[in-house]
Chains A and B, each alone.
Chain A
């Protein structure tokens, strides 16, 4: 049924019904997502004068965001932490996804996936806090290690620093890495592996030459899904990061709330969003190139 149809010699106009149908969520996304982001972009070019906003166009906020060492340090640290978290999460998650896809019987798979996601339905804040309990000076790990006689003094490098942030975030994002990889592995036609065995490939070579390349899109998806939101997290660094574990998101939050300088906060937010988007695009491009070369 087309957009318009001729009825008895005259045009009867019909809106494409799909467009009508999609309009509520579309308008919602435009009004409360696209427009607000545009607003953030706009105020990032304004200036805060105590309680008023000076609406003359200026690049001062961006100049400050990109030149002040404190912002640069936080931004670089954020990116480094996000990249590390992404790498750890994906590396740790892959064997799990592989196990569930290849070694768990078909009828148990959804149960396993369910089991893997259960821990993530505890309150997010509570989970982070509990990591503090686990990693703390008198925490579970130190307590156990001391009682086992492995160490004498509690380890101090595992809480209130970047390591703690990485561990906590790797935990928080685990299912978001496992699921896409699992889906990609599930899609692999098992007869391809049998064909490879038939052609004389061993377990390891089979994994490297067939399973891994075919699972790569899922791995990439997992990496993007983990990388982007971790840059925006400000709770984890606040709770377990200590003074040197703070990240750019904490600064954005600070500018919008306590420091009451939304334009600078906006400039920081937009800058980090652009950097993250650019990095993600480059990452995807590079890998797509790589994927195309193989095929």
Chain B
């Protein structure tokens, strides 16, 4: 299969008493768009800077393109970086910034100019060569930073929250541009972000970090539908958690008693590693629960409840439903369609769920 371009083996890094990286191991594959996602302070920037060569790990190994990077200075690594605040050199023109790394290569003026033109075209900044870098807007600076790094054809491009300084509109535009750019140049991108939407929409694979450790690496879909643990499930999107007890295994599957939802049969595969008698948490996403309107036929999997709270979002409505037979409430999200009323508080409702979308922790 595809070759790993970056291999991280048990990378540790401490700052005094703070453990910033607590034994990080991962492989990043040649040509993929890889995101590091995690809450603030979990060590994302530190990991990125360790790959770039700005932090020496206390122990562990970083290999890039098969080469051990220990002792290799940042300026000798086949990586380039886009900084969070872009770090555009304010005393140079756009061309000066973009061509900054080329000067060492002694290419001659015409070749340098050609490469700069090409790089600027790539980020849609044709004709900006002589602009004073200080006069650029945030989005333009971002493009210059990208062009400046990509012009050197790195094996890996590292991006530390490159979109967080942009306003929402521009951010969404840059997300798709960045994605397209990555596909076009075929360079491995490693993106640090604390915005899960960004990670999910842009990446081929996402690594979730907590407290200096990577807890899950998978595709965005897998991350959302099959979070590795409770922490990941809580971090990505929103999820309802209900108390549940594992029952006996039958030929159809394993019985699980979920408070408020009753007894259900789940595929034995998805109950692992829990066994009969275990008290567990059953997680289900709000959009996997449905409010049944009168005309819709009831099915076998129905629970009764009462609407305790409601938030209207225009395209969606979120209901907090108190289930019968338990103190727990669940959040149900409903798309607002033409013939669907917004239910008032206190309404009695029946809700339906899909057992395949329940995850046990």
Direct contact of A and B (CB under 8 A): yes
Residues of A within 8 A of B (CB): 1-2, 5-8, 12
Q: Which residues of B contact A5 (CB under 8 A)?
A: 56, 71
Q: Are A2 and B71 in contact (CB under 8 A)?
A: no
**B70: chain A residues within 8 A (beta carbon):** 6-8
A8 B71 Cβ-Cβ under 8 A: yes
Query: Which residues of B (23-68) have their CB < 8 Å from a CB of A?
Result: 55-56, 59
> Would you list 12 pairs from A and B whose C-beta atoms are within 8 A, ordered by A residue?
A1-B55, A1-B56, A2-B56, A5-B56, A5-B71, A6-B59, A6-B70, A7-B70, A7-B71, A8-B70, A8-B71, A12-B71
* Shortest Cβ distance from residue A4 to the other chain B in the assembled complex, whole angstroms: 10
Q: How far is B71's CA from A8's CA once the two chains are assembled, in angstroms? A: 9
Q: Which residues of A contact B56 (CB under 8 A)?
A: 1-2, 5
Would you list the 4 A-B pairs with minimal beta carbon distance, nearest first? A7-B71, A5-B56, A1-B56, A7-B70
Report chain B residues within 8 Å CB of A2.
Answer: 56
Q: Could you tell me the distance between the alpha carbons of A23 and B335 in the complex, rounded to whole angstroms?
A: 68
- Number of cross-chain contacts by CB at 8 Å: 12
Given contacts A5-B56, A8-B70, A12-B71, 6 further A-B contacts (CB under 8 A): A1-B55, A1-B56, A2-B56, A5-B71, A7-B70, A7-B71
Closest to B70 in A: A7
Distance in angstroms between the alpha carbons of A45 and B231 in the assembled complex? 73
Distance in angstroms from B108 CB to nearest chain A CB is 35
Q: How far is the CA of A5 from the CA of B55 in the complex (A)?
A: 11
A6 contacts across to B, CB distance below 8 A = 59, 70
The residue in B55, B59, B70 that gathers the most chain A C-beta atoms within 10 A of its C-beta is B70
Point out the residues of chain A lying under 8 angstroms from B55, CB to CB. Answer: 1
Q: How far is the CA of A213 from the CA of B55 in the complex (A)?
A: 44
Beta-carbon nearest neighbor of A5 in chain B = B56
Q: Tell me the complex Cα distance, A5–B53, Å.
A: 13
Task: Give the Cβ gap from B13 to chain A, nearest Cβ, in Å.
Answer: 11
Kindly list chain B residues whose C-beta atoms are within 8 Å of the C-beta of A8: 70-71
Shortest Cβ distance from A7 into B: residue: B71
Distance from A43 Cβ to chain B, minimum over Cβ atoms (Å): 46
Distance, CA A5 to CA B59, complexed state (A): 10
How distant is the Cα of A5 from the Cα of B71 in the complex, in angstroms? 8
A81 to B59, CA, bound (A): 63
> In the complex, what residues of A have CB within 8 A of residue B59's CB?
6
Residue among B55, B56, B59 with max Cβ neighbours from chain A (10 Å): B56
Please provide the chain B residues from 70 to 88 with a CB less than 8 Å away from any CB of chain A in the complex.
Answer: 70-71
What's the Cα separation between A2 and B59 when bound, in Å? 12
Q: CA–CA, A2 to B55, complex, Å?
A: 9
Query: Complex formed: what's the CA distance from A8 to B56 in Å?
Result: 13
Closest B residue by C-beta to A1:
B56
Q: Give the complex CA separation of A1 and B59 in angstroms.
A: 13
